[in-house]
Structure 1
Amino acid sequence: MAVPPSSNRIRLEDPLEDGRQSAQALAIQRGTMRHLRRLGLAVVSELTLASGRRADLVGLTPQGEIWIVEIKSSLADFRSDMKWPDYRSFCDRLFFASSSSVPMDIFPADAGFILADDYGAEIIREAPIDKMAAARRKAVTIRFAQAAAHRLHKILDPDCDPTF
């Protein structure tokens, strides 16, 4: 008996959602990704770094610069999650993205700040540039490319074997 194409099957999971983010965080993510795309960056969400930490957004500029954006959907979210300093060594620029309901002054002055909602975003404060070493840049860029390709493959072929 022939197996029907996957497009005819009921899909139980959405490969673009992992269930960890709140509705507010997803709105900030969407608006921020739209803005970064308008700036010419390619963006991947939830990218696991070599340290094992997972960055909310990683952007790659046309010049090869790596930006990490840490999304904070509330004051409690910012206070409870202090892993973001670990991201500095994996990017050339570090930003925070949040909504207008979160006070901007809680975010470190030595990081950029993006104000976002479900429809778009604006860079309110540019992030300083702290260039990564060439070997680290190559490793992050390869990890970025592989994650993007694997995710696209999963969307195009949801029944593929994820072990290869």
Structure 2
Amino acid sequence: MSSGFVSPALQPGQRLARGVCRHLRGHDFVSVEELVPIPGLRVDVMALGPKGEIWVIECKSSRADFQTDRKWQGYLDWCDRFFWAVDAAFPLDLLPDDTGLIIADSYDAEILRMGPDRPLPPARRKMLTQKFARHAAIRAQMARDPGFVSAF
């Protein structure tokens, strides 16, 4: 029996995020999309590793999408590693060499370059891990109960 729910079409950046999240699960990372670490910043994908490591992945679907992003350096203070996720046609020479690089599509991804390891301070890691858990729990509840109203 069909629920009548039809998933809306994914935008290009959302398709990249889906492939990234699928790939990271194979590395024992769990992921959430569109997490706000602090007001004014919203990361495309935040991933939590088996040892508590926190990675941020920004998905860029085009040259224009990358060139209009003025906030990405602010994300560096909110992760242990930072990555760009782009498709195979993206002009890679635009991306800074001192950041991670993931090539992705809707179904999978491949890490081409690891971003440098910048360990988070313990208090920030604790705060982000709690925010990650709450974000994931709210998203799970929203999926189970479409009538649920979230505060974010």
Query: Does 2:90 align with 1:102?
Result: yes
Shift of 1:159: 2.1
Query: Does 2:135 align with 1:154?
Result: no
Structure 1 residue aligned with 2:133: 145
Taking the TM superposition and a 5 Å limit, the aligned residue runs for 1:68-147 are: 68-147=56-135
Instruction: Return the TM-score normalized by structure 2.
Output: 0.90
Q: Which stretches in structure 2 are left out of the alignment for 5+ residues?
A: none
Shift of 1:103: 1.1
Equivalent of residue 17 in structure 2, options 7, 16, 29: 29
Q: Which stretches in structure 1 are left out of the alignment for 5+ residues?
A: 1-7
Shift of 1:51: 4.0
Change (3 A) 1:156 1:71: same
Aligned-residue CA RMSD (Å):
2.1
Runs of 4 or more above 4 Å deviation: 8-11
- State how far apart, in whole Å, the 2-side matches of 1:118 and 1:161 are: 28
> Aligned letter for 2:37?
L
- What SS does structure 2 have at the residue aligned with 1:109? coil
Shift of 1:85: 0.2
Shift of 1:26: 2.0
> Aligned letter for 1:128?
P
Q: Which has the larger radius of gyration?
A: 1
Shift of 1:152: 0.5
